[in-house]
Structure 1
């Protein structure tokens, strides 16, 4: 079997899958902070999953890890995962030393893209983009040949495409990036009111007629629609699957994005011909796509690197 872990800023989601990609165990645990804690998240996450699902660790062929930040998949090193307190960490080597199992790394959004593609099945198109709407905004692109990373690994970084040069300043230093419109962190800062779920609060206040909330809700739909448009027009993917924390809003999110896509296409026969509003899907909230994708990343470990252990 294979194990996949999706390490998030606050929670780590872990799954165990069979050779047929069937999930036979799943746990969630709090994510630590700093090099030692992140290594422990992988090692202890595997052991907790083993205890919970009651399988033999000797059956595990590989461990895959999806993690935010810059990832050097070839060397198994994590670089600049600021939210996790990591600047440079040889995570694959250190975790393998503890577990005795090959460990592979991938950027979390790319891993989630692989997982989303697997959940959709092979008979629903050969190309797709996974658009992550969470604290930030990014995408992973999957073709019939697998992940498409681009020349320097930045394929899918739609969050930092500027669509409004006079817009809000982005954390990347530009103005009016897509992320400033539909990233959960940017929306929370623009809202500026305390709450455990600021984006949900924005939607609730907008439903109640709050003018500022209505504008921010419209920004979210406009920004996500722009991301969908960029992904389809640049990579010509058949479908954009939307995931991430904001999908907890369900149809409130999806319907708004579809309306924005339809409105954008109203004056453009070209855009209307692409039927962009029909080419998006929302993952169910709580989907295991990211952890499943991490397990699939682990499955790409060359056979010569896999040794039987026990």
Structure 2
């Protein structure tokens, strides 16, 4: 980002949030009034040491870009894929980062000398989406990207369930005879609307395979038409699962596939309407009116990580200040 002027923080502390992905880190510095002072995107390192160093370097770059002193950083929150113990700050099985087991919070905190909290990236994004949309009741965040995952926020707190898997609809099987999923089941929602699964089924070269599928479907390509239907069917199935299981008021859709814009939103809405055509009960839920897309490139995940960084270890509370 380009700064218009040096930030005048008047001694106030800055909350830093980082969304650490397999290829890039999306990072924000947030003032105490909620204003984003700086936002940067940088490549992610591979392996334990490189992941830690990348985080440290980006925090320093945010201070330079935002015009504040590193000593103004009060908390750091990190959203990261894999199995995350949010109490200890340990990350397990973040395979796209080359991390098997890493005490990330302790290592980063020791280098920066500030409190550091770690959260699963999708759960962090759910918090960020709640802040961006000003939602104080119940909502689900549905991440449609290479894979499919979701997080649920109720009254400003992440709802984890008994074992931390609440809202994980991507591996809910909706067709036992469907495509094989990486989890070992068949016909998981992710096999219908995950970008990776669609790209493999398409099996044609291209920078943005799912966009290519939609473009080809508009010309009548039979395979593309079938995969487009899968995409919308899978997205609609995820929305139904989230609303029917948790009765959330809103489902906010984020992730890389939001770059498809209105075509994705309208396709999922049409599929929800078609699915409810023969059911008065489903029509009464008005599922098509309860979804919305985050803009492509939204800072929800990084902003949510910043919120995570400011919370205590007992719960993750969304601050609307």
1:81 paired residue number: 94
2:47 paired residue number: 34
1:308 paired residue number: none
Residue 12 of structure 1 is aligned with which of 17, 21, 25? 25
Contact 1:7 1:67 in 2 (8 A): yes
Whole-angstrom distance in 1 between the partners of 2:59 and 2:76: 8
Contact 2:90 2:103 in 1 (8 A): yes
Alpha-carbon offset, residue 301 of structure 1: 3.9
Is 1:111 matched with 2:124?
yes
Contact 2:199 2:210 in 1 (8 A): yes
State the Cα deviation string for residues 199-233 of structure 1 (Å, max 9, x = none): 11111111111110011011000001000000000
1:258 paired residue number: 269
Contact 2:127 2:156 in 1 (8 A): no
State the Cα deviation string for residues 38-61 of structure 1 (Å, max 9, x = none): 101210110111111111111111
2:11 paired residue number: none
1:94 paired residue number: 107
Give the TM-score, by structure 2 length: 0.92
Contact 2:130 2:156 in 1 (8 A): no
Whole-angstrom distance in 2 between the partners of 1:215 and 1:165: 18
1:269 paired residue number: 280
1:296 paired residue number: 307
- What value does the CA root-mean-square deviation take over the aligned residues? 0.9
Alpha-carbon offset, residue 8 of structure 1: 1.0
Contact 1:206 1:213 in 2 (8 A): yes
Residue 212 of structure 1 is aligned with which of 202, 218, 223? 223
Give unmatched runs, 5+ long, in structure 1.
303-310
1:23 paired residue number: 36
Alpha-carbon offset, residue 145 of structure 1: 4.8
Is 1:136 matched with 2:142?
no
* Superposed structure 1 runs of 4+ greater than 2 Å apart: none
1:239 paired residue number: 250
1:228 paired residue number: 239
Is 1:69 matched with 2:109?
no
Whole-angstrom distance in 1 between the partners of 2:150 and 2:156: 17
Contact 1:13 1:26 in 2 (8 A): yes
Whole-angstrom distance in 2 between the partners of 1:175 and 1:195: 26
2:206 paired residue number: 195
* Secondary structure of the corresponding residue to residue 62 of structure 1: strand
Q: How many residues align?
A: 300
